[in-house]
Structure 1
Amino acid sequence: MTTRYIPDAGRLYGPEFARDPQAVYAELRRRYGPVAPVEIAPGIGAHLVLGYQAAVDVLTDAGGTWSKDSRAWMATLPETPEAAGAVGMLGYRSNALFSDGAEHARYRKAIIDCFGMVQPHKLRQLVIEVADSLIARFAANGEADLAGDFARPIPLKIFNRLFGRPDSDSDALISALSDLMEADGEAGARGLDAFSRYLGELVAAKYAERGDDLTSWLIDHPAGLTQEELIWQLVLVVAASYEPTASLISNAVSRMVSDDRYYSSLTNGALSTYDALLEALRAEPAMANYGPYFVRQPVHFHGTWIRPAELVLVSYAGANTEPTNVPDELRSDGGAYLGFGAGPHRCPASDPAMLIAMTAIERLTSHLCDLELTVPREELSWRPGPFHRSLAHLPVRFTPIRPDQPGESPWAAQPPSSSIPSAETFPARSAGYVTSAPWSS
């Protein structure tokens, strides 16, 4: 932001921040308290909400103090590559993330209703199919990068299928979203352009011929989304499912394979996959600093004056790990985490995200039960960027699984699931997840 921010504001970019963001949060707390001045890119400032109670106050606001509409902020930005990268992640769109009031409720209901049509047991079967196909690619090697080879492709392959697109489109989505998430000048703008192009082609195809998929359900929903609104809901759904789910998987696995509380072998630890996911959501939430808000009028908030058109980011990572002298089990918040947000803008698809992550990890650890990191966890590299906490690589080794060995293997022939429509069968309205939408009767 180009406003009055303090020159020595904390930097949420660069290798130092990527290496140890908690050290940056701790220094910001020491100097400024629960709300601190930061830069998300050179010359682009924000207020970062680091205190747990302050974060809850923003997220659960019922008095109309806070807005999600970023257009006034966008008008203050310079015409620089850094600003273009920030707009890639924070620029206004007519979707549930950047809207308020009745408009937000309309968008959100459409998303919740359509996600509600994806039956959990059928989604789980789809995750098994996708996870096993990915494991089969590297299981015989005895080593893999679980971030690039496993965690990142899973949500995109799944949502490609749910949207009614063929698996071959996953690579284009991975490239576009990787650029977009970096918020790095030209890369961020390039990612947004490629992502929008992909979704435009998807929407055009589904308007021409409906299928039994999320895209078609959104088109036909009683909310009456315009084509532009539909595209921006899909932008939100894909972006919000990709990075958070992929990083949740890799962050949780990295904890499991480096902590004996989870296992000495992957099958006999005291803590479960679910425990690892909860700990990752608390200590290393995938979207570490991505809760954009703006005030409607000047406000003195937890010791800091905030004016309209100034960007406020909720630091889920900072708030979740705020030091306290009270043990977690005795805290008034119960040691709660904000990994999926809170209040009216809480992630509407947190249950599917947890199902995808848990099922994927359980398939991985059931097939490769002696996974171990090839480097200490503290030496793992993290992707740079202000918004996410995402491993660049997750290198592991394990006992190879050969295609000809006895017993179950990921590539063992499995009968096709009637609950998982292929790209070819999506146009048939009776071939997929449900026979009809509840609003079509």
Structure 2
Amino acid sequence: MTTHHQPTAGHCPAHEQAPPPTGPIPIYGDAFTADPHATYRRLRARGPIVPVEISPRVYGYLAVTYRAAVYLLGNTPARFVKDPQRWAALRQGQVPADSPARMMMQPRDNALWKDGPEHIRLRHAITSALARVDTHALATTVARIADQLIDAFAPAGQADLVAQYSDPLPMLTVFELFGCPQELGSRIVGAVTRVFDGGADASQANAELEDACLELTHLKRHRPGRDVATHLIAAGLTDAEMVQTILLLIGAAAPPTSNHIGNGLRRVLTDARFAGSVRDGVRPLADALDEVLWDNPPVPNYSPLYALGRQTFEGVYLEQGYPILVSFAAANGDPLLAVAPGARAGNRGHLAFSAGVHACPAPDLARIIAETALERILDRLAGFDLDVPETELHNRPGTFLAGLTGLPVRFQPSTRLRPVER
């Protein structure tokens, strides 16, 4: 049954925070982490856009059907905007400073949180900088980094592919794209991961992240190079805009891609439809990775939006002043979709890269990193298999990221390095 949420009589969202939307369901905690899709099914049974508790005492809505997600994203900024200043609880000081939701949803001086001309200007700077990335050179860089990581654990015959491969590989790749020294880059990506994970130290992680991004900005202003950070500076971004844009791009490139690689490796290792075919060259790795983007997108819930004026969708009233998140994971799993689960390999109709004016500006770069990462490890390791039962694999906690805590594998020990084809 669709839930109707009526506005509070006499409520003025510009001056006071309304009570939480009726019956919010948590999208955090142990039960959610263990089986998020069970929560999505429960939410979807209540309607297309449903009241949720995003983190403790932080309330909003979550779009859980494909139609609702596309409607919200397609009507931004006409009916829904990104500006977090419209978040009444934040404006009134009711969101705890250390709230995981605050770290992920507070105002930032970058394209993700802007509407209209400011969004166009800042997004153009990003797309122009990323368009200058040589995709062939990127694939070669990823392959080189992958081989270095594999060489470190190949003689042992066993490894945790999250800690030793999928986590560091995108991070090291991003360092090179931004012309960032490794020590500084480690600080940036470590802090980004802590912000995404939404732990108790998220506020401290955010402060460390902004300090490190400012340090990189100053470094590139004094020592420009042929890298993404230098191209952003050339586009005329201020220091404040640089800090938040670097934060945005590294946050979008490293932790989500790490999770996508880990989830993709899990799919290849555990799903008979892929375990044989991709290794035999019959079915492309891209198909396995696209199916993972349908079933388990690395950013399952995000894209906070705010209603402009009175808005309803399929009978659901959306009260102003509350964030409306899009669940890409729930939308992709909507049983009303015409695309059956068995037909999703190679299908790119999913919402893992969002949609509309705020869609991911460079999905092809993310695909290159993930596909090359899987290609190299499948090419290098013989007898490659899980070292624990699949039931012992666990999800990382958190609302905004979906990935594994570990992926133990075994394989035939090897010290031989195959040269990267150039």
TM-score after normalising by structure 1: 0.86
Q: 2 CA distance for matches of 1:180 and 1:200?
A: 17
Match of 1:350 in 2: 363
Match of 1:116 in 2: 131
Alpha-carbon deviation of 1:40?
1.5
Aligned partners of 1:128 and 1:359 also within 8 Å: yes
> CA distance change for structure 1 residues 62 and 42 in 2, over 3 Å: closer, same or farther?
closer
Match of 2:66 in 1: 52
Partner AA of 1:159 in structure 2: V
Residue 150 of structure 1 pairs with residue 165 of structure 2: yes
Partner AA of 1:25 in structure 2: Y
Residue 75 of structure 1 pairs with residue 91 of structure 2: yes
Aligned partners of 2:299 and 2:352 also within 8 Å: yes
Identity of aligned residues (%): 33
Task: Select between 127-136 and 160-169 the one with higher mean Cα deviation.
Answer: 160-169
Q: Mark the runs of 5 or more structure 1 residues left unpaired by the alignment.
A: 418-441
Partner AA of 1:235 in structure 2: L
Match of 1:309 in 2: 321
Match of 2:417 in 1: 409
> CA distance change for structure 1 residues 278 and 237 in 2, over 3 Å: closer, same or farther?
same
Task: Select between 285-294 and 153-162 the one with higher mean Cα deviation.
Answer: 153-162
Alpha-carbon deviation of 1:197?
1.2
Deviation track 1:234-254 (CA, whole Å, cap 9, x = no partner) reads: 111010111221111111110
Aligned partners of 2:63 and 2:326 also within 8 Å: yes
Match of 1:365 in 2: 378
Deviation track 1:245-285 (CA, whole Å, cap 9, x = no partner) reads: 11111111101100111133862264321111101111100
Residue 272 of structure 1 pairs with residue 284 of structure 2: yes
Q: Mark the runs of 5 or more structure 2 residues left unpaired by the alignment.
A: 1-15
Aligned partners of 2:259 and 2:404 also within 8 Å: yes
Alpha-carbon deviation of 1:155?
1.5
Tell me which of 78, 102, 110 is aligned to 1:87.
102
Alpha-carbon deviation of 1:156?
1.3
Q: 2 CA distance for matches of 1:362 and 1:52?
A: 31
Q: 1 CA distance for matches of 2:248 and 2:21?
A: 32
TM-score after normalising by structure 2: 0.89
Instruction: Spell out the pairing of 1:89-238 with structure 2 (5 A cutoff).
Output: 89-184=104-199, 186-221=200-235, 224-238=236-250
Q: 2 CA distance for matches of 1:339 and 1:327?
A: 15
> CA distance change for structure 1 residues 210 and 82 in 2, over 3 Å: closer, same or farther?
closer
Structure 2 residue matching 1:195: 3-state secondary structure? helix
Q: 1 CA distance for matches of 2:393 and 2:359?
A: 30
Alpha-carbon deviation of 1:192?
0.8
| Moved beyond 4 Å, runs of 4+ | none
Cα RMSD, aligned residues only: 2.3
Alpha-carbon deviation of 1:174?
3.7
Alpha-carbon deviation of 1:347?
0.1
Q: 2 CA distance for matches of 1:147 and 1:71?
A: 37
> CA distance change for structure 1 residues 397 and 87 in 2, over 3 Å: closer, same or farther?
same
Residue 11 of structure 1 pairs with residue 26 of structure 2: yes
Aligned partners of 2:17 and 2:321 also within 8 Å: no
Q: 1 CA distance for matches of 2:343 and 2:286?
A: 21
